Amino acid sequence: MVNLIRSVNYSHHYAAMAATFCPSLPQHFKPSPIIKFPRSSFSFKVFSSQSSADETPTRVGFLGLGIMGSPMALNLIKAGCDVTVWNRTKSKCDPLIDLGAKYKPSPAEVAASCDVTFAMLADPESALVVACGEDGAASGMSPGKGYVDVSTVDGPTSKLISGQIKETGALFLEAPVSGSKKPAEDGQLIFLTAGDISLYEKVASYLDIMGKSRFYLGDVGNGAAMKLVVNMIMGSMMTSFAEGLLLSEKVGLDPSVVVEVISQGAISAPMFSLKGPSMVQSKYPTAFPLKHQQKDMRLALSLAESVSQSTPIAAAANELYKVAKSHGLSDSDFSAVIEALKVKSKD
């Protein structure tokens, strides 16, 4: 039997670092656990960084200001950080510029003007173009700089971006996040990082402003894999939850009561409590777009196939998200997958 040990140590070292470079920390900021998952170990191990405050990057770039990127960058600005932003649609930068952010017209110029650059893009294709394309961030990278990709991409894409960045002498960290719009707004994201540990240590204070916890997972690709596993589970859970709500209604139960019952039992989950009431009313305010959930299911299934792991439940869930997309629900919240089940019930 595997002896599984978890130990968490709360370090105040990064709190001091963050206060130095971001003087107006938001009230929610607290030092977070620093947890390391070695690649060849089943144990959770704690490590504490000893990097000094003068090693913390002082100029921060942020590429991609969508549903997730905008509130993440906003939290950095609110904390008093020196932030430079870029987005394909410049108008999305304007609210942050009004709050003190600087603007550059290309990812390359952002990277050239900043010590570390974060990127939150919609999909692997966008992440690759913004990092490595014409006027991409890699063109502005040089030794001493760092690139932190917080997008959700597959492992091969992350490794390709890492290779391009590291060819410039800069450091690379993949750091996809677990959490959607509200956690991003509240600075409650979970960072799943992998890559250059020295860069992880340097940007720890910024991760703590944007999130509630951070995990270091070793080599590039491990963060991407962890995120896909988490989102595969989440997507499958949502389809099962949707089935239960519809079944309860068909047999004469009140689905609102089902949501309440679930919230008090062993299968209680914040996702069910948050999404359930809106789903019962057939309302799907977008926190995590359905098209992105389906993209993550597709990438997770590809990952599973690459290691010959059977995933029939996730595969079935993926088909429902595809049906929902075909009915014009791509930009709705992923909880709108329940509409695909309603369509199937009518067939």
219 half-sphere exposure, CB direction, 13 A CA radius: 7
Quote the tokens at residue 270: 């914040």
CA nearest 93: which of 79, 108, 77? 77
CA nearest 110: which of 91, 93, 128? 93
CA distances from 341 to 250, 289, 327, 333 (A): 13, 18, 12, 15
Quote the tokens at residue 253: 């139960």
Please name the helix (run of DSSP H) or strand (run of DSSP E) that holds residue 121, with its range, or none.
Answer: none
Spatial separation of the C-alpha atoms in residues 342 and 325, rounded to whole Å? 14
Burial of 345 (C-beta count, 10 Å sphere; 0-12/13-18/19+): exposed
Spatial separation of the C-alpha atoms in residues 236 and 7, rounded to whole Å? 30
Residue 227 annotated among the catalytic residues of the structure: yes
Alpha helices per DSSP H over the chain: 13-21, 69-78, 94-98, 107-113, 124-132, 155-166, 181-186, 197-210, 222-250, 255-263, 270-280, 290-306, 312-326, 338-346
Task: Say if residues 188 and 198 touch (Cβ distance below 8 Å).
Answer: no
Which residue of the set 227, 291, 295, 325 is catalytic? 227
Looking at the annotation, which residues are catalytic? 227
